[in-house]
Amino acid sequence: MVDQARARRLAKRIVNIVGTAIEYEIKDPRLRFVTVTDAKVTGDLREATVYYTVMGETIDAEPDFPGVAAGLEKAKGVLRSKVGAATGIKFTPTLSFVLDTVPDAARQMEELLARARASDEQVAQVAANATHAGDADPYKSDEED
């Protein structure tokens, strides 16, 4: 039987273990600007997907995505052994690393919302100066008869 609560707890623990190991124990310079954001563990606790983001050395610098992916692939065995030692479960899950696209999606959504706000402001300005196309009261009344 699948215990989703246990899988979520293990996923949180894996995020902490892998993040700490990358920051303090793995000496690969390609992994300096990696942040572990989330992890998902299958119900049988056999496989774990670890999501990460990468920052550039400066604000304007483009991150080295292929280099980071290669560094994580190289450190996968060490990280898995750290997870096994820290969790103490019978079978240590295999780790796979996936670049997290949530920050890019959030940035795109913010840009879309900014464009929508600008469009709404333009419509409001046009509506403020607008006049009726016909009579101010287009409905018939008994007073006109």
Q: How confident is the model at residue 104 (pLDDT cuts 50, 70, 90)?
A: confident
pTM beyond 0.95: the answer is no
Average per-residue pLDDT in the chain? 88
pLDDT grade, residue 93 (50/70/90)?
very high
| The pLDDT of residue 101 is above 70 | yes
CB 78 within 8 A of CB 21: yes
Task: Report the candidate in 70, 92, 66 with the shortest Cα–Cα distance to residue 10.
Answer: 92
Domains and CATH numbers, the chain: 4-100 (3.30.300.20)
Smallest Cα–Cα separation from 41: which of 75, 21, 16, 12?
A: 12
Task: Check residue 59 and give its pLDDT.
Answer: 78
Q: What are phi and psi of 92, to 5 degrees?
A: -75, 130
Taking only the tens place, the pLDDT of each residue in 3-52 is: 888 999 999 999 999 999 999 999 989 998 899 999 999 989 999 999 99
Question: So what's the pLDDT on residue 111?
Answer: 94
Tens digit of each residue's pLDDT (9 = 90 or more) over 39-88: 999 989 999 999 999 988 887 788 889 999 999 999 999 999 999 999 98
